[in-house]
Amino acid sequence: MDLKGKRAVVTGAGQGIGRAIALKLAQRGADLIVDDINPQTVKRTAQEVQALGTKAFAVVADVSQRADVEEIVKVALRELGGVDILVNNAGIARSALLLRLKDEQWDEVLNVNLKGIFYCTQLVAPQMIKQRYGKIINISSIYGRIGTIGDANYAASKAGIVGFTKSVARELARYNINVNAIMPGLIDTPLLRGIPDKYLQPMIEDVPLGRVGKPEDIANVVAFLASDDASYMTGAILEVTGGWNM
Ligand code: NAP
């Protein structure tokens, strides 16, 4: 229970990787604010966390809206008294080949995946600075390093997270705040299931460990980065891919 008494915010926690992260942090003893844009799924995650014996409060908020993120922080302060761990997980894909990519698809993906991380980090950071303690973990993607056909907007947003993570890690280091990012590979979630099988199967065959990842594979690494075992890590970008595209 190395996170006992710690207060965590996880965005996009209604399903997939975010849900697994919320459950893992709760298993380690953390109390949680779980956010999602989807009211049904986020309530379900909060109930699952509570069943593990820690506190959980569901907030329905769109991370790309500053006012919504202000609400997340308000609830965290009111219900938990502060934030020790922020996991910026919410992310979307709106796939199209470059020549067909619409302004709306570009803006939507950049707004959720990148501006959302900016808002959450900027609004949570003052608490962490005040208490001289914080762990910020950003969920990027291996596509942020290698790129991919049909998702230039997504890959650009995930590469942007790398620059953001390293810059904020430098800025906040003096306050004992660690800022790191994870680049997942192919992880079995509704997002991945959106990829047509004829593209997905060859990719899976190319993974040295021979399987897609489980959401828990990412959650385990988040739990490590959220703990004091990782206190000498900042600005690191960890690839959790089963060796895919190493
Ligand atoms: P997912 O199954 O689609 O879950 C993402 C969750 O975020 C959903 O519950 C979604 O709500 C929510 N969400 C979407 N827009 C939001 C917003 N504006 N504000 C708050 N919540 C929002 O995706 P996932 O596979 O778990 O992915 C989680 C993160 O890992 C993402 O950042 C993704 O880019 C990254 N990642 C995933 C993989 C993979 O293979 N799965 C690989 C690399 C990186 P709805 O239910 O309404 O959509």
pLDDT in tens, 150-162: 999 999 999 999 9
The answer to whether 46 and 56 have CB atoms below 8 angstroms apart is yes
Mean pLDDT confidence for 75-96: 98
The answer to whether 88 and 179 have CB atoms below 8 angstroms apart is no
**123 pLDDT exceeds 80?**
yes
> Is 184 a pocket residue for ligand 1 (Cβ < 6 Å)?
yes
**66 pLDDT exceeds 90?**
yes
Domains parsed from the chain with CATH numbers? 7-240 (3.40.50.720)
Amino acid at 237: I
Mean pLDDT confidence for 155-173: 99
> Is 92 a pocket residue for ligand 1 (Cβ < 6 Å)?
yes
What pLDDT does residue 191 have?
82
What pLDDT does residue 1 have?
66
pTM: 0.98
Sign of the CA dihedral running 93, 99, 100, 101: positive
pLDDT tens for 194-236 read 888 998 999 999 999 999 999 999 999 999 999 999 999 999 9
Amino acid at 233: M
Beta strands (DSSP E) in the chain are 7-10, 31-36, 56-60, 85-88, 134-139, 177-184, 237-240
Give the chain's largest Cα–Cα span. Answer: 51
Question: 133 an active-site residue?
Answer: no
What pLDDT does residue 12 have?
98
User: N- to C-terminal Cα distance for the chain?
Assistant: 32
Mutate to test the pocket of ligand 1, among 189, 221, 237, 239 (most ligand atoms within 8 A of CB): 189
What pLDDT does residue 27 have?
98
Which residue in the block uniquely carries the two structure tokens 């965590």?
8
pLDDT tier, 193 (very low <50, low <70, confident <90, very high otherwise)? confident
> DSSP assignment of 131-197, as one string?
HT-EEEEEE--THHHH--TTBHHHHHHHHHHHHHHHHHHHHHGGGTEEEEEEEE-SB-SHHHHTS-H
- Determine what percent of the chain is predicted with pLDDT higher than 70: 100
